[in-house]
Structure 1
């Protein structure tokens, strides 16, 4: 059976090289290379056998197709949309993009390596996926550190930049992010560089700053028009902003395009996996999506009793937050967590229960590790990987990020 592996470089710790570490920081703008006192990124590359890469790529694209079909139902059927329990402002943004044909989508599908040797999607980030600095920079730094083999399959950054420039049609790209967070700025600053390298104008924008002018265009800074919005800011956080109607008006008038589109909000909700199993089970099986249910559709006591078989997730949780893995909790801890989620659901919060994917570890220079392939899919087409390694089957902020290559001749 073909299995991926982390192949050691000749140097045990290549980022001790000051030149490489400066490139990491200044060329690729990775300003947070450590978390909790440990390195968050490294250069020893993950090598994917070509056949396994092909199956991972197909799984990612099939997952995006499945979730897109379910999302389309939510746009077309009011009853289906109500299942997601979105804030009215979020629903208005999504509806505006859908009506205007504003549908550009950059999705990252998280794939887990199952004990059957295949990759299985556990969730998607269809709203504002990140990891671009690492996905672009780490393979190049691995080359600088002496890795000469393999093909780099990751093209997401330059394809994203070209897509933004095309959507702007000669105008300005506005990059929206939470201005209090340096880790968000580093992503947008890196994308800004790539957009400007193509000759387009790009500016940073606070999410609350833009306003619609009388002609319907979205403007900032005393009148500068934004033609396309690259949004590294969760759509659910935009609820109750004073300028939501301005965004809606600009999108509906055709004077603003967004990436990822506001219309992708249904796919961002983890509930979309449950709806895929309810509305389109054949496609869900084809994509290897694990059986997923709205939390309220499964008896609480069953989830408690079958602890090792379940993962419970908040529908709009991000970066591993509010993901509860039964296999990693004691029986008493699990019972308390599940009953607390049941209480939150009764109050109107949205959670899912998903079948646990038994995983296999891979060989790495740090010992056996679980691998999560974040497969980028831009407008339906695979565009590369963001790879994280963990000592347990739960991926969060402290996962180790490494470069990915496909076995074979260098491209």
Structure 2
């Protein structure tokens, strides 16, 4: 399968992965990314450390809830999600890590709400393993560990077995179908029944919740927390969302059943805070609230990050190449402006139009390119607090959105 057309046919044959091309260009790279055991261990350590930092953050906020409005400016429905979660936020996450030119590892964010990339990480490695003899596939145990995480999450609520899972996702977005298919296959292989649907298909029942009329033990939530609540524009010149109202009925049904101990939600709704990039600013602006060990980890792994409300605009204009502007819930490159890669005019306009309470600025860092000039973004999956797999995207520029996804193996040397 060294010919991309042959590889594309194999991709379709998985029945999980799709779209081997994007905008007419290959979406995947056949040549694997090979990381040394030493680097793999460092990346795993960083991902677990960043996950620990978010748990430490949650514990601080539980003791000082005033920050939810004063620091985060959470909307009423976002606050409701947070309080209903009781501080629970984690089951599955993906830390986006970079090896920098100074040798340090930096984490630009922890995707703790609805992390993606799992099907590509597992099936792409399977498809390309034969072309990389002698190398270890770090993702072989991911499906089993995923199921174990769900079972453990469920067991914290009840001793009853996990028999029926509802996967809730935005059914209008076809790019999520491969993930839903992967999750369904892994669950069904364990004789766990799967029902899939959107939030609009959720209903409260006397004993819990039902999805499309079928009662479920656990809801695997692949629908972003900021979509469940009020949707607010983050640019001064932006039009409001056409669907800006919170999903009141399904959200209340799910939160109430969760509070009553009648359903398990993964990821829990506390991710409304941990996914918010203002949390990265909280690490730096409120660092003294954290234990000394956590403070060391913040300096080690989290780039300097501050709320836009805390920064002087003139400083940002003067130091354009040193900062990246990011919105609180923006994702996939949206609502992110890297000062080093835009003109002074574009940067000035972005700083002017960004609604300050919804943005952070993060210190720019130089990524170490590989031998061919690619910039690797190492996505390290974390399940129940432990590193569980690798997902690598490659780009030619830090701001490139249409990056290639490559299989990721562990072994000596480079390919």
Question: Scaled by the length of structure 1, what TM-score is found?
Answer: 0.88
Q: Per-residue CA shift, 1:341-373, capped at 9, x if unaligned?
A: 1xx22xxx511001001122112xxx3111100
- Paired position in structure 1 for 2:387: 382
Structure 1 60/395 Cα, relative in aligned 2: closer, same or farther at 3 Å? farther
Question: How far off its partner does 1:244 sit?
Answer: 1.5
Q: 2-side partners of 1:26 and 1:86: how far apart?
A: 44
CA contact (8 A) 1:28 1:190 kept: no
3-state DSSP class of the match of 2:86?
Answer: helix
CA contact (8 A) 2:162 2:218 kept: no
2:370 to 362, 371, 374: 362
1:236 to 226, 230, 233: 226
Q: 2-side partners of 1:315 and 1:157: how far apart?
A: 31
- The 5 Å alignment of 1:4-403 reads 13-17=2-6, 20-27=7-14, 29-82=16-69, 83-98=71-86, 102-144=88-130, 146-154=131-139, 155-167=141-153, 169-215=161-207, 217-222=208-213, 224-239=214-229, 240-241=246-247, 242-280=249-287, 282-285=295-298, 287-341=300-354, 344-345=355-356, 349-363=357-371, 367-396=372-401, 398-403=402-407
- Paired position in structure 1 for 2:232: none
* Structure 1 residue ranges without an equivalent (≥5): 1-10
3-state DSSP class of the match of 2:199?
Answer: coil
Question: How far off its partner does 1:157 sit?
Answer: 3.3
Q: 2-side partners of 1:228 and 1:104: how far apart?
A: 14
Q: 2-side partners of 1:91 and 1:388: how far apart?
A: 34
Question: How far off its partner does 1:28 sit?
Answer: 5.4
After superposing on structure 2, the runs of 4+ consecutive aligned residues of structure 1 that deviate more than 6 Å are none
Q: 1-side partners of 2:63 and 2:201: how far apart?
A: 31
CA contact (8 A) 1:310 1:326 kept: yes
Q: 2-side partners of 1:395 and 1:96: how far apart?
A: 38
Structure 1 388/194 Cα, relative in aligned 2: closer, same or farther at 3 Å? same
Question: Scaled by the length of structure 2, what TM-score is found?
Answer: 0.87
3-state DSSP class of the match of 1:311?
Answer: strand
- Paired position in structure 1 for 2:233: none
Question: How far off its partner does 1:162 sit?
Answer: 3.1
Across the aligned residues of Structure 1 and Structure 2, the Cα RMSD in angstroms comes to 1.9
3-state DSSP class of the match of 2:82?
Answer: helix
* Structure 2 residue ranges without an equivalent (≥5): 155-160, 230-245, 289-294
CA contact (8 A) 2:149 2:383 kept: no
Q: 1-side partners of 2:62 and 2:21: how far apart?
A: 41
Q: Per-residue CA shift, 1:146-186, capped at 9, x if unaligned?
A: 21122112243331133224545233111111111111122
3-state DSSP class of the match of 2:270?
Answer: helix
Question: How far off its partner does 1:378 sit?
Answer: 1.0
